[in-house]
Structure 1
Amino acid sequence: MRTHLLALGLVLGLGTASAALAGSTAPAQPPLTALTKDSGTPMPAEQKSVHFDHAELHIAVDPARRNIDGRAVLTFTATAATGVLLLDLDRNLPVHAVAIDGQPLAASAWGNPDGRLRIQLPGLLAKDGKLTVAISYGGKPHVAKNAPWDGGFVWSHTKDGEPWVGSAVEGEGCDLFWPCIDQPGGKPDLVDLYVSVPKPLVAPGNGVLVGVSDEGNQRTYHWRARHPATYAVSINVGPYRELKGEYRSRYGNTIALHYWYLPGEEAQAQALFAEFPRLLDFFEAKIGPYPWGDEKMGVVETPYKGMEHQTINAYGNHYAKDGGGFDWLLQHEFAHEWFGNQMTNANWDDMWLHESFATYMQPLYAQHLDGDADYYSWLHRLRLMLRNRYPLVSGSGRTEEQVYDERNGPGQDIYNKGALMLQTLRHLVGDRAFYASIRELVYGRPDPKPGNFAPQYATTRDYIGIVDKVTGRKLDWFFDVYLYQAALPKLDVQRRGDTLDLRWQVPHDLPFPMPVEVRVDDVVHTVPMTDGAGSLAIPAGAVVTIDPHSVLLRDEPRITEFQQWMKQQRAQREAAKR
């Protein structure tokens, strides 16, 4: 979600200073290794040989020293025999001790030269065998230069000078502050997070609050979360105030609502908190039950723009208004509870499954609240940001950096182009099939109810198969063009006397039988476009509009001309500065 925040903020006319209150002055720090910086590199066989059962994380946060002291007690079940445990952890957080099943290991039994902690087990762990590893580590975690786009810890202060700390590690991964398996598929089944902070600071966290304990001038918050996405485990520390409430779901369960905000912002916080119930009602009506209803819907104010931390979404939009009637950042991050946290991409190459669906939720929500004008306004803003330089999906494994790379990857198109593609798909298959496909993708079943579904992993091909199943049609041609090609299809329109000829021009002449609506005076006709072409009789003098409901994602010269003009304007401004 990181690139999208910047681009959309600029298009909406919002400032971006809130994204990095402390990051722009990050002190010099040791560089990250390539392994730590690049989240999602191919998973080693040793990591494939274990299932992550439980993570018990004890993290003491020292804002004055910008330091953390950690102890991770991790439990695994072997899926294949192995003599090595391989974890990811930033080497700039030195490991002090390692124990297996309570027995300390000699220092020679482990090493972490490049950000991948290799632990030699005392003996071979058989398939289905279990082990528990305890790792003591600590130091100064990587400081974000511009969170959330460049990840790490943000050490900031409130306007009253109180410590205000947050983590945002989507890009670089969980290994920036705890030993983990830094892969989309590396989720532990359960995480117990103990965060110790100086009194009277507060440490909101993922999942449910199990308890709070005091020891001297320290206070420890114990949070428990099930199946959290690895980068969605977060640290939040500040002098927070808390708003609490409940939401009675249409599915019969009651969901706890929590918002942690900074002192002095009570009125704005109350207004934002009032959005929580209608957000839940929208998503539960459109998609299905809130996946973490037995934990909470939580939001915490952060010293950076935002991030979809599971059940504790980071919010740093400063309560900005944009005329849309809702806080778009809060809504986008909350969408990721379904698209990202409940349904997780199997590989970063499938990241559009998170971002395209989450982005499409903003125009849908605008339409839900205020009608079609706001819906199409949102879609038009997204359309102006398309780049179409690289396909949304490469078809091979990718790292996070490769996917978000604006110069050599799809970048923000995984948000904007993907959302517009979903608008086209929705029109093609109809609302019933479209939302049925989303439920299958998110929940793995057509009839989700609280308690009858589990977190899902999904690939692009999984979703294509789901759409084929719910529609009873083969729609590979649709996804082959929109997902696996960079260039948009062009619609060639020619008028010959009383005949309108239409023909799709598609990269590599791929099949593309996308129907085209044409309004002739006051009547809308659908041209089937069999084999990518079609014709329509047009009475003399008739007024003709192609795609009157703006449902086709296609190459449009007017938008290309605008984008080129904007590029020239930027270049002229830069030249004037020099």
Structure 2
Amino acid sequence: MKKTILLSLFLFVFNQMKAQEFSRKDSLQGGLREERTCYDVLRYDLDIRIDPEKKWIFGSNTITFKVDDDTNKIQVDLFENMAIDGITLDNMPKIEFTREYNAFFIHFPKILKKGEIHKLRISYYGNPIIAKNAPWDGGFVFTKDKKQNPWIGVAVQGTGASLWYPCKDSQTDEPDNGASIKVAVPNGLMNVSNGRFLGSTDLKNGYTRWDWEVKNPINNYDITVNIADYVHIHDNHEGLDLDYYVLRYNEETARKHFDNDVKPMMNCFQSKFGKYPFFEDGYKLVETPYLGMEHQSAVAYGNKYKKGYLGMDLSGTGAGLFFDYITIHETGHEWFGNSITSKDIADMWIHEGFTTYTETVFIECIKGYDEAIKYVNGQARNVQNNRPIIGQFGVNREGSGDMYYKGSLLLNTIRHIINDDVKWWKLLYNYSETYKKQIIDTKTVIDFFNKESGLDLTSVFLQYLTTTKIPKLVLSKKGNKLNYKWENVNADFKMPIDIIINEKPLRLQTNTENQELKIDKKLLLEEIYVKTNQFYIKVERK
């Protein structure tokens, strides 16, 4: 209990120290006020039309919600460039609202009582923001394929789903009972969204509506549309439906390409992290005009049917060139990000660190430990150490992009601190299963890893997540004494380190205090091998 209290206090103080000037607009999007916490979203029912030529959306979203606290006002979110055409509650028309930046506050004519369930229908229209460089900036992509057919996608992680549809735009609340996504597009095109395909309807006005339904809870930013002249490829793997929607002229290439990675990947991930979490909704890869995104049960794929990352190995080692990076990474998010979700995007390392580590896990499944270790350590070249991994809470601000590679290296370090692979794989599997389809925070992760490992890993997590300092092992020698300690770390940092002296492995329980080990006085410091491939550290020999 004492450790838990101290951890909570540390994270609170850390967040206060990082405080900077944020606007009312930021806190409206990232914060949790009573207008948000007073209700729980149960379901979204989107029914929209998209005009590719005008780059325009028109339609509605019906939000089914349960009242958690008596209220006559709630906050819903929709970017201010999108217009609201009208709001109804159950059978009550013309519900009043006021707008403030990208939020709007709905004022009910009576008090909604705790426990009540209501349906709120919001009609809206407008030209959504177009991304300049999707998926790194949020927005729509309106482009054309090689045959000059419209090709449309959307990616809004971090920016917010309210960029294109009204919702409670917070990761703290997913629709418990899923969502339906009905999208009308010009005849001759297809829309692919999340979940199962229910059917299409010719609307007799030049548009066909494509109906999809998600059974599981889903992140707001995961709800998606993909519009193109698609062909559908179906497969099945041990009862799991595998569906690929690709541009018509890429069908033959896609069949061969996806077959190489998807089934081995599913075997690996399900053995290490548990059953595919959205079995009821199936698994899809959908070809998109941007690189990729972890849209739940409709993973966006834009890696151009190349191995690695657009034909490159981000680790620089060559170990990542036998698989398609986007297929593996974005699917890894189905377990880490879509199933296990962070409460605040300041904790997005819970998504990205674990998912980046799934790449290493896949390599180990297929190629073995040595290749996996080579790959994860190669990722260190991408770490910037420019800002802490954990961002600013309550204002819709992520931390450093180091959440990817440094987050993965942190997990590799934790694995080797535990130093028991049976325990490690069991811990990772149990973590995935314990918090399946749950929304958590950093404290929850640390507490779980401490409990399951039987170790106090708190100072290690906090060192890598809340500072830009990489632990430095300082070795010095005087006579027959080896002196060792950690520098460039928090005062309470402690972490064991494995070394080899004269072919004999040793584990040094190391902290910030100078410690001694008796050695052969003829031994040179350069002859002491430190296992830096197992721990993300620096070494200084004095």
Secondary structure of the structure 2 residue equivalent to 1:339: coil
SS in 1 for 2:172: coil
Structure-to-structure mapping, 1:310-325, within 5 angstroms: 310-322=296-308, 324-325=321-322
Quote the offset at 1:85 in angstroms.
Answer: 2.5
**Within 1, Cα distance between the matches of 2:291 and 2:152?**
13
Partner of 1:99, secondary structure, is: strand
Confirm or deny that 1:118 pairs with 2:105. yes
Which of residues 156, 171, 175 in structure 1 aligns to 2:143?
156
> Residue 525 of structure 1: SS of its match in structure 2?
strand
2:115 corresponds to = 128
Paired residue type of 1:391: P
Q: Does 2:188 align with 1:191?
A: no
3-state SS in 1 of match to 2:408: helix
> How far apart, CA to CA, are the structure 2 residues paired with 1:539 and 1:366?
42
Residue number among 332, 336, 339 corresponding to 2:336 in the alignment: 339
2:99 is equivalent to residue 137 of structure 1: no
Match of 1:176 among 163, 166, 189: 163
CA distance in 1, matches of 2:87, 2:230: 35
- The question of 1:42 aligning with 2:31 is answered yes
Larger mean Cα displacement after TM superposition, 230-239 or 527-536: 527-536
Contact 2:262 2:327 in 1 (8 A): no
1:315 Cα deviation from its structure 2 partner: 0.9
Give the one of 360, 363, 371 matched to 1:363: 360
| SS across alignment from 1:320 | coil
CA displacement 1:397-447 (0-9 Å, x = unmatched):
1544x32xxxxxx422111111101001011113333333333433327xx
Pair 154,536 (structure 1): closer, same or farther in 2 beyond 3 Å: farther
Aligned residues: 502
Aligned counterpart, 1:462: 444
Q: Give the secondary structure class of the aligned counterpart of 2:459.
A: helix
SS of the aligned residue for 1:294 comes to helix
Instruction: Name the structure 2 match of 1:571.
Output: none
Deviates more, 1:339-348 or 1:207-216: 207-216
Separation in structure 2 between the aligned mates of residue 420 and residue 536 of structure 1, nearest angstrom: 31
The one of 374, 390, 393 aligned to 1:397:
393
Match in the other structure for 1:94: 83
Match for residue 214 of structure 1? 202
Say whether residues 1:105 and 2:94 are aligned partners: yes
Counterpart Cα distance in 1 of 2:100 and 2:143: 30
Of 104, 124, 134, which aligns to 1:147? 134
Q: CA deviation at 1:170?
A: 0.5
SS in 2 for 1:91: coil
Q: Structure 1: which 5+ runs fail to align?
A: 1-32, 249-253, 404-409, 446-453, 559-578
- Please give the secondary structure, in 2, of the residue aligned with 1:384: helix
Distance in 1 (alpha carbons) for counterparts of 2:330 and 2:247: 19
The residue correspondences of 1:264-303 to structure 2 (distance < 5 A) are 264-274=249-259, 275-303=261-289
Change (3 A) 1:312 1:367: same
- Counterpart of 2:290 (choices 304, 324, 337) is 304
Question: Aligned equivalents of 1:413 and 1:122: distance in 2?
Answer: 48
How far apart are the structure 2 equivalents of 1:238 and 1:38? 37
Structure-1 separation of matches of 2:109 and 2:134: 40
1:482-521 superposed matches below 5 A: 482-512=464-494, 514-521=495-502
- Please provide the CA RMSD for this pair: 2.3
Amino acid at match of 1:554: I
Deviations 1:495-518 (A, max 9, x none): 334433221114342231x22222
C-alpha deviation, 1:474, in angstroms: 2.4
- From 331, 347, 351, the equivalent of 2:348 is 351
Match of 2:217 among 206, 211, 227: 227
What residue identity is the alignment partner of 1:50? Y
CA distance in 2, matches of 1:508, 1:156: 50
Query: Which of 242, 246, 260 is equivalent to 2:236?
Result: 246
Partner Cα distance (2:276, 2:28) in 1: 28
CA distance in 1, matches of 2:93, 2:486: 67
Please, which of 188, 200, 207 is the counterpart of residue 188 of structure 2?
200
Secondary structure in 2 matching 1:266: helix
Q: Distance in 2 between matches of 1:63 and 1:38?
A: 33
**TM-aligned CA deviation for residue 41 of structure 1:** 1.4
The secondary structure found in structure 1 opposite 2:374 is helix
Looking at structure 2, the residues matched to 372 and 435 of structure 1 have their Cα atoms a distance apart, in angstroms, of 13
| Partner Cα distance (1:187, 1:444) in 2 | 18
| Distance in 2 separating the partners of 1:313 and 1:167 | 12
Contact 2:284–2:298 (CA under 8 A) maintained in structure 1: yes
Q: TM-score, normalised by structure 1?
A: 0.82
- Which one of the candidate residues 394, 416, 423 is aligned to 1:427? 416
Q: Does residue 227 of structure 2 align to residue 237 of structure 1?
A: yes
The answer to whether the aligner puts 1:77 opposite 2:62 as a matched pair is: no
Q: Does 1:524 align with 2:505?
A: yes
The 5 Å alignment of 1:383-394 reads 383-393=380-390
Taking the aligned partners of 1:312 and 1:433, their CA distance within structure 2 comes to 33
Against the structure 1 CA distance between its residues 161 and 37, is the aligned structure 2 distance closer, same or farther, given a 3 Å change threshold? Answer: farther
Name which of 372, 377, 382 aligns with 1:375. 372
SS of corresponding position for 2:366: helix
Unaligned runs of 5+ in 2: 1-21, 309-317
Assess, with a 3 A threshold, how the Cα gap between structure 1 residues 530 and 119 changes in structure 2: closer, same or farther: closer
> Secondary structure at the residue paired with 2:58?
strand
What do residues 211-237 of structure 1 show as CA deviations (whole Å, max 9, x unaligned)? 222222321111111211110000110
Runs of 4+ more than 6 Å apart:
33-39
